[in-house]
């Protein structure tokens, strides 16, 4: 029996249609994970694999944190489920208040979801409904950005700007897109590029074309993650904020990756000094242990919805999920936020970020490396492809890394890194060295 299969039969392997995975390739050569602790996974063939992406940007505090497990178990034994509609349980209110303490001032009302994608949908629906409540029903258009990633549901895919995620599904919602901020002039920038704030002015062109009276909101990731770590050019987000303000357009930050320490701060809004109207969060909120997301809005937005209704929720916001504010997820999130604070993990992340920047840019002269970007404890390489070749180099690099005992993410033409906040310095060094070796091997056709 192949131990890479963790004892699974072929029928079992075939039964699971895996997400964002080349299923046929995986099922020929499975990369099965059977356990996790601290910064390491255990693979089915018994190896320790360094977790170079904190799961999927989720597990910044490291794996198998006893504090979180304990909180979950306690919650399970007291209240395993509570109806989320028309009834409450204390954990969700405590968590909501705890989250608002980490958000920019004014963003102090929290709507719970179960994922980043659902947080995005919630924010887009709130934006449209908000203008309707204010008597401006024509303000419906949603503006995204090229290369943006906002999850996989229809609204998120529509404002999203990664072509491969949209094309196969046919027509999306009617949206418009800002240009992305990945400029050739900024190749190999360290942290935020200096050049590119003017790209925010494209919003003025969109406004001219569609008229602000038809536009509900602009949604951007303050630092785009899935497209391969695109930090905002200096001044860019502020310029977007100003234009939105002048034209009565809501600004939504999708902070599903950036909230709770990835950038060394509670939010990207805090790091970049720009306060949006709505922030979406997920991933690190529960350290990835239980699915949970949320949409956090300015108090004024919430209050606009509270002007009618009373007992009739249909007059407030007819929206919510069976598992919104699930008691077990709330317990996991409360324990996570407690742990992040107690162990000073935002600060740890910020300190490691300097080191990652230093090390990763040492790879700039390697063959195949077209660009390197970093922001907070996140970095990406853009890998060249030979003309006419499919985008397989990054995947092959990621496979080499797995063989060498490191998990990194390949997406499109990029390799992405985002290690846990509890990583040791020498582990970053080890990962970057292994990455250099892997790139060289792939460049040499090995």
Structure tokens at 87: 């009834």
Q: Min. distance of Cβ 443 from ligand PMP in angstroms?
A: 29
- Considering only 43, 117, 202, 287, the residue that binds ligand PMP (CB under 6 A) is 117
Give yes or no for residue 325 binding ligand PMP (CB under 6 A).
no
Chain residue at closest Cβ approach to ligand PMP: 116
- Considering only 39, 49, 282, 350, the residue that binds ligand PMP (CB under 6 A) is 282
Give yes or no for residue 181 binding ligand PMP (CB under 6 A).
no
- The strands making up 414-417's β-sheet, listed across from edge to edge, are 369-374, 379-383, 414-417, 409-411
Give yes or no for residue 123 binding ligand PMP (CB under 6 A).
no
Q: How wide is the angle at C-alpha 354 spanned by C-alphas 349 and 359, nearest 5°?
A: 115
Contacts (Cβ under 8 Å, ≥6 apart) of 310: none
Nearer to ligand PMP, 196 or 228 (CB): 228
Cα–Cα distances in Å, from 123 out to 58, 62, 92, 129?
A: 21, 29, 19, 10
Nearer to ligand PMP, 223 or 363 (CB): 223
Nearer to ligand PMP, 212 or 285 (CB): 285
186-194, 235-243, 253-261, 311-319 -> range binding ligand PMP (CB under 6 A): 253-261
Dist. CA 411–CA 398, nearest whole Å: 10
Dist. CA 195–CA 227, nearest whole Å: 19
Give yes or no for residue 121 binding ligand PMP (CB under 6 A).
no
- Considering only 126, 257, 279, 333, the residue that binds ligand PMP (CB under 6 A) is 257
Secondary structure (DSSP) of 377-441: S-EEEEE---TT--S-HHHHHHHHHHHHTEE-EEETTEEEE---TT--HHHHHHHHHHHHHHHHH
Nearest to 379 by CA among 424, 348, 409: 409
Dist. CA 98–CA 364, nearest whole Å: 41
Secondary structure (DSSP) of 98-123: HHHTTSPTTEEEEEEESSHHHHHHHH
- Considering only 111, 149, 321, 410, the residue that binds ligand PMP (CB under 6 A) is 149
30-38, 67-75, 143-151, 354-362 -> range binding ligand PMP (CB under 6 A): 143-151
Interface positions, 363-402, toward ligand PMP (CB under 6 A): none
Nearer to ligand PMP, 219 or 368 (CB): 219
* Stretch 210-239: interaction string toward ligand PMP, x if CB under 6 A: -----------x---xx-------------
Nearest to 236 by CA among 215, 256, 251: 251
- Considering only 75, 84, 115, 286, the residue that binds ligand PMP (CB under 6 A) is 115
Residues interacting with ligand PMP, by CB under 6 A?
115-117, 120, 149-151, 221, 225-226, 254, 256-257, 282
């Amino acid at each position: 029996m192949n131990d890479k299969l963790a004892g699974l039969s072929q029928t079992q392997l075939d039964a699971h249609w895996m997400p964002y995975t080349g299923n046929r390739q995986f099922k020929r050569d499975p990369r099965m994970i059977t356990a996790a602790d601290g910064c390491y996974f255990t693979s089915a063939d018994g190896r320790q694999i360094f977790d170079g992406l904190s799961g999927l940007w989720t597990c910044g505090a490291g794996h198998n944190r006893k504090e979180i497990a304990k909180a979950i178990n306690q919650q399970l034994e007291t209240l395993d489920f509570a109806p989320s509609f028309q009834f409450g349980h204390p954990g969700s209110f405590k968590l909501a208040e705890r989250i608002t303490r980490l958000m920019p001032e004014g963003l102090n009302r929290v709507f719970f979801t179960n994922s980043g994608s659902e947080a995005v949908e919630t924010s887009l629906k709130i934006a449209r409904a908000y203008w309707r409540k204010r008597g401006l029903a024509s303000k419906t258009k949603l503006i995204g950005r090229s290369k943006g990633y906002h999850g996989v549901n229809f609204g998120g895919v529509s404002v999203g700007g990664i072509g491969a995620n949209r094309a196969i599904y046919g027509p999306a919602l009617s949206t418009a897109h800002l240009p992305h901020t990945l400029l050739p002039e900024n190749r190999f920038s360290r942290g935020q590029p200096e050049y590119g704030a003017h790209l925010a002015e494209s919003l003025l062109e969109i406004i001219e074309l569609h008229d602000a009276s038809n536009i509900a909101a602009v949604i951007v990731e303050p630092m785009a993650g899935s497209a391969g770590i695109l930090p905002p050019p200096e001044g860019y987000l502020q310029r977007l904020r100003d234009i939105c303000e002048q034209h009565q357009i809501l600004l939504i930050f999708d902070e599903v990756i950036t909230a709770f320490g990835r950038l060394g701060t509670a939010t990207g809004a805090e790091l970049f000094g720009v306060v949006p109207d709505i922030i979406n969060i997920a991933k690190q909120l529960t350290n990835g242990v239980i699915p949970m997301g949320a949409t956090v809005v300015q108090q004024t937005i919430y209050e606009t919805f509270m002007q009618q209704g009373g007992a009739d929720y249909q007059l407030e916001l007819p929206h919510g999920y069976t598992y919104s504010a699930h008691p077990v997820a709330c317990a996991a999130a409360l324990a996570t936020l407690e742990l992040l604070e107690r162990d000073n993990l935002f600060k740890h992340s910020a300190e490691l970020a300097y080191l990652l920047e230093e090390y990763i840019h040492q790879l700039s002269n390697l063959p195949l490396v077209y660009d390197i970007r970093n922001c907070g404890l996140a970095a990406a390489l853009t890998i060249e492809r030979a003309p006419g070749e499919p985008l397989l180099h990054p995947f092959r690099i990621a496979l080499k890394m797995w063989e060498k005992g490191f998990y990194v993410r390949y997406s499109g033409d990029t390799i992405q890194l985002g290690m846990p906040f509890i990583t040791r310095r020498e582990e970053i060094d080890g990962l970057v060295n292994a990455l250099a070796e892997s790139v060289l091997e792939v460049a040499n056709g090995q």
